Each structure stands twice: as C-alpha cells, then as structure tokens.
Structure 1
Amino acid sequence: MIHVPSRLPGESFSLYHLEETMKPLGYVINGNWDYDHGYFDYKIDNRDGYTFLRVPFTAEKGQLDQPGVVVKLGDPFLLKHVYQDKLDDHAMVGNVGASFNQFQEPKEKDGDVSKAYTEIGFSLVKELEDALL
C-alpha cells in the first residue's frame, strides 16, 4: 500500500455530490462499505491482480444508507491485490465458475505497486482535487 499525498483528507461533502462528481471520472463505491465508512475505488489495472487508487470516507452526519449523508474523506492510497495463479483441479470455468472463484483469497492483499502505477495514482489524485476543491 502506498499513501498518496493529497489536500482531500478532512474535506467534507455530501455522498451524493461525491458520487455525481467521481463516478464520471471512473470511481465506484467499493462493495466493502459499512454504515459509517466506505471507499471509492478507481481500478488502474487488472493484470496480475488488481491495482486500485482507493479514497476512504467516513460518515460525518448520518449513515451511509440514508439520503443526505455527509462524509469526510481520508488519505488516498494505492493498493494491489495479487490473486492465486491456479485454482484447484476441480474449479469450473465459465460464468458459473467465475461466480464462485471471485471469492478466492488473494495471494497477496498488499502486493507491490509499480512505479508507473504510482505516477498514475498521483495524477489521479491531482485530477480529483481539481474536480472537488
């Protein structure tokens, strides 16, 4: 994991405004959210695992499942998940197999992020700062 310096941490926005601004830039709300915190993810690459720019947020006023919630942004960081190279011999292929294999444990939850992706992450944060601040 690589922290990306930013002016975003501590800034508050309505979650609706963030979604309206960030989704057109390629961000999605990560499925691993809770009522008080979550993440916006930008997938940079999916070769040899997944490399993301992740922007955390916490609920400041309200809960994430309520309309009008206000959230505070945290420190953006780059993250790489490296998945298993091979599945066991009995793994199915195709859409049905993929629906089960998506839950496999990563080989490395915090893989090495290449320098090229680090530079991309820094430019993505700059773009996001320009859009939000």
Structure 2
Amino acid sequence: MKPLNSRIENEWFALNEAEEALKSLGFSYGGGWEYDHGYFDYKLDDEVGYTFLRLPFHVVDGELEQKNTTVQFDQPFLLAHKYQVGLDDHASTGNLSGSFNQFSEPQDPDASIDHKWVKIAKDLLLQAENKLLT
C-alpha cells in the first residue's frame, strides 16, 4: 500500500455527486463496503496481480443506501496484490455443500508498486480532484 497526498482528503461530498463524477473517469465501487464506509477504485493493472488507485471514504451524514448521504474522503492510496502461481496452499472443500474455494490467496497481499503506476495514479488522482472540487 502506498498512501498518496490529495486535496480531496477530509473534504465532504454528496455521495451521489461524487459517484457520478468518479464513474465518468472510470472509477467503480470497490469491495469491502460496510454500512459506514466504502471505496472508489480504479484498476490500473491486472497482469500478474492487480494494482488499484483506491479512494476511501466514510459516511458523515446518512447511510450509504440513502439518496442524500454525505461522505468525507480519507487519504487515497495505491493497493497492489500479486497472484499466487499454481495451486493455493490453503485450498479446501466445503464440508456440507461439496463446494470448494476456487480463489487463490495472493502471493503478496502488499506487493511493491511499480513507479510507472505511481505516476499514472497521481495523474488520475489530479483528474479526480479537479472533477470533484470544481
């Protein structure tokens, strides 16, 4: 994980307006939503793993499922995971349903981030700041 400085950090926005602005740049809702916080993600790379620019936020008024929710952005960061090559060391089958976990654990859940992605992420973050703050 690599934190990035941003002008949107600590700024408040209507969630629906932030969503509209960020989706127009290619961001989507990231995983890990809770009732009081969430993420907008932009996938930068997915060759040997994945690299995302992540814009975290938390609710300051309302609830995420309401129309007029106000959110505050936290510090953006780059997140990289490297896929495990081969079979998962911890693969298991379900005991009652006969199902199995088909997804490998990441080889490196906090992989180093190539400098080219840092520059691209900073440029994209500037676009997001300009879109949100104007």
Unmatched 5+ residue regions in structure 2? 92-100
Q: CA deviation at 1:31?
A: 2.5
> So what's the TM-score if we normalise by structure 2?
0.86
1:33 equivalent in alignment to 2:33: yes
Give the structure 2 partner of residue 14 of structure 1.
14
Give the structure 1 partner of residue 52 of structure 2.
52
Q: What amino acid is the match of 1:64?
A: L
SS in 2 for 1:106: coil
Residues 67-78 of structure 1 aligned to structure 2 (within 5 Å): 67-78=67-78
Q: What amino acid is the match of 1:33?
A: W
Give the structure 1 partner of residue 120 of structure 2.
120
Give the structure 2 partner of residue 109 of structure 1.
109
Number of equivalent positions: 123
Unmatched 5+ residue regions in structure 1? 91-99
Q: What amino acid is the match of 1:26?
A: G
Give 4+ residue runs of structure 1 displaced > 4 Å after superposition. none
SS in 1 for 2:107: strand
1:62 equivalent in alignment to 2:51: no
The whole-number CA distance in structure 1 between the counterparts of 2:54 and 2:68 is 23
> So what's the TM-score if we normalise by structure 1?
0.86
Q: CA deviation at 1:51?
A: 0.3
Structure (1 or 2) with the greater helix fraction:
1
SS in 1 for 2:24: helix
Q: CA deviation at 1:87?
A: 2.2
Q: What amino acid is the match of 2:13?
A: F
